[in-house]
Amino acid sequence: MVMKKFLWTITALFAATALLATPLIAFASEKDADAIANDLLDDSVEPGWNWIHNAWRYYDEELKPCYNWLFIDNAWYYVGQDDAMCTGWFFVDTAWYYANPKGIMQTGWLLLDNAWYYTNLSGVMQTGWFFVDTTWYYANPSGVMLTGWQWIAGSWYYLDPNGAMHTYWLWDGDWYFLDPTTGVMYANAWAQGSYYLLANGHMAYGCYAPGDYWLNWSGCWEPGDWLDGTAKYMLSRAQAYTSSTEWLIIVDDAACRAGIFWGCSGTWCLYKYFPCATGAPGTPTIKGTYKVQSKIYHFGEEKGYTCYYATQFSGDYLLHSILYNKNSWTVQDGRLGAQLSHGCVRLATENAQYIYDNIPIGTTVVSY
C-alpha cells in the first residue's frame, strides 16, 4: 500500500542569508536504488518523506534516499548516514543542534527539561559566553544557561535569574560592584571613585579603608583626617597579618587601644577602634599572634565580680567587658585606657558584646 507523502506546514521562515555557517546541501545515498525498492516493495516509496523502519526518511525524484542537511519548505532538517531524520539533540561535525519532534532544526532560546539553552542562527548550541541582542549570557559545557554567582576563568560574575550578566551595583545580602563592561566582581578595589570593595566583594562601610580613608555608613568616602597616630600605625601594621576569617582583632598594649578589622591581608579596613584596659605591669597581657578559641557569656563570680561577653584567644587570656558586681549589672570597675587588668583585655561592654556576637572562632588576634 502506497504511503501518503509527508508534508508539514512551516510557520517560521528561516533566513538562510543570516546563517553564520550554512549547512551542507543534501546528498543522495550511495545505496542502490533498485535494491532499496526491492527491499521495501516498489509501491511503498514515494519522492519526499516516507515512514520506513520506525523513522522518517527522505527520497529524491529517483527514489534515492537523501542524507545530510535538507532545506525543505523554508525549514532545515538533518538526515544522518543511516538515512533517518534526526530529532532532539544531534551532533554534526563539531557542534550540537536541536530538532523538534517534527525534525525541524530550532534556533534561539529553548526550554528543555527545566533548563534554558540557546542555539544561534545556524542552529549551533552555544557554550561559554555568548551575546544575544544587547546582553551577555553564559552556558556550561552542556549548553545549560547558568544563573547566580559563577566563578569563571579566575573571576566572579553574577548572572541574573534570566541569565543576563549583571553590571554595576548588586544587592545580594551585601552590596557588590560588577564591572560595567566585563561584569567582573570588584575586590580589593575602589568603585566609582568613592566606594571600597573588600576581598570578598562586599562594599565596606562605617570603617577606615587602607590608606586612612574614612567610609561612612553609606559606604562613601568622606575626606578628612579621622585617625590619630596610633590608629594609623595599627591600620598600617594590620596589612601584614592573615586570618582564617574575614575579621582581625589587634590590641596595642602600650596605647591601650583595640581595633577590629574587616577584609583580608593587605586590604584590612579598620571597622571599629576603641580604648581598652590591658594588663598591669605585674600581670601583663601576652604579646603575639593568636586565634579566637571559645566564648563565655560570664565568669569571675568566684573572685567577687562578674565579667560578660568573654572571648578567649589564649589560655586564660580573654577579651571581655568591664567588671560588674557579682551576678549583677552594677559597675564595679569601669576604667579603660590604662594598664590595670589581670592580663585580660577589658572593653566597654558594647564592644565586648560585638566581638562575642560577631567575630567567629578562628579569627586572628594580635597583641603587641
pLDDT at 3: 34
**Locus of grid cell 552556558:** 139
Quick one: DSSP state of residue 40? H
Answer whether residue 19 shows pLDDT above 80.
Answer: no
H/E segment holding residue 39:
helix 33-40
Helix (H) and strand (E) counts in the chain: 3, 32
* Lowest mean pLDDT across 12-16, 32-36, 259-263: 12-16
- At 154 the three-state DSSP class reads coil
To the question of pTM greater than 0.75 for the whole model, the response is no
CA distance 54 to 65: 15
User: For 133-143, what is the mean pLDDT?
Assistant: 97
Q: Can you say whether residue 318 is alpha, beta or left, with left for phi > 0 and alpha for psi between -120 and 50 degrees?
A: beta
Q: How is residue 85 annotated by DSSP?
A: B
Nearest CA among 133, 145, 247 for reference residue 198: 247
pLDDT at position 229, please?
86
261 within 8 A of 250, measured Cβ to Cβ = yes
**pLDDT band (50, 70, 90) for residue 335:** very high
Cα angle, residue 49 at apex, residues 44 and 53 outer, rounded to 5°: 60
Q: In this predicted model, which residue has the larger pLDDT, 129 or 15?
A: 129
- At residue 6, the pLDDT reads 32
Q: How confident is the model at residue 226 (pLDDT cuts 50, 70, 90)?
A: low
With 0-12 / 13-18 / 19 or more C-beta atoms within 10 angstroms meaning exposed / middle / buried, residue 1 is exposed
Per-residue confidence (pLDDT) for residue 354, from 0 to 100: 97
Strand stretches in 160-299, DSSP E: 168-171, 175-178, 189-191, 195-197, 207-209, 213-215, 221-222, 247-252, 257-262, 269-279, 288-291, 294-299
Model confidence at 161, pLDDT cuts 50, 70, 90, reads very high
**Can you tell me the mean pLDDT for 213-236?**
83
207 or 340, higher pLDDT:
340
Cα gap 90→107, rounded to integer Å: 14
What percent of the chain is modeled with pLDDT above 70?
88
The predicted pLDDT at position 224 comes to: 64
Residue 327 pLDDT > 50, yes or no?
A: yes
Backbone angles phi, psi at 278, to 5 degrees: -100, -175
3-class state of residue 42 by DSSP = helix
DSSP summary character for residue 200:
T
Q: How far is CA 15 from the centre of its chain?
A: 38
Average pLDDT, the chain: 88
Between residues 38 and 102, which one has the greater pLDDT? 102
pLDDT tens-digit readout, 85-99:
999 999 999 999 999
Work out the average pLDDT over 112-140: 97
Question: Largest alpha-carbon pair distance within the chain?
Answer: 112
Give DSSP secondary structure letters for 108-146.
EEEEETTEEEEE-TT-PBP-EEEEETTEEEEE-TT-PBP
The residue with greater pLDDT, 290 or 266, is 290
Question: Residue 4 above 90 pLDDT?
Answer: no
Least confident among 1-15, 179-193, 269-283: 1-15
- Whether the per-residue pLDDT at 309 is higher than 60: the answer is yes
28-62 burial code (b ≥16 CB/10 A, e <16): ebeeebeebbeebeeeebeeebbebeeebbbbeee
Say yes or no to pLDDT of 102 above 50: yes
How many beta carbons lie within 10 A of that of residue 278, not counting itself?
26
pLDDT reading at 11 higher than 70: no
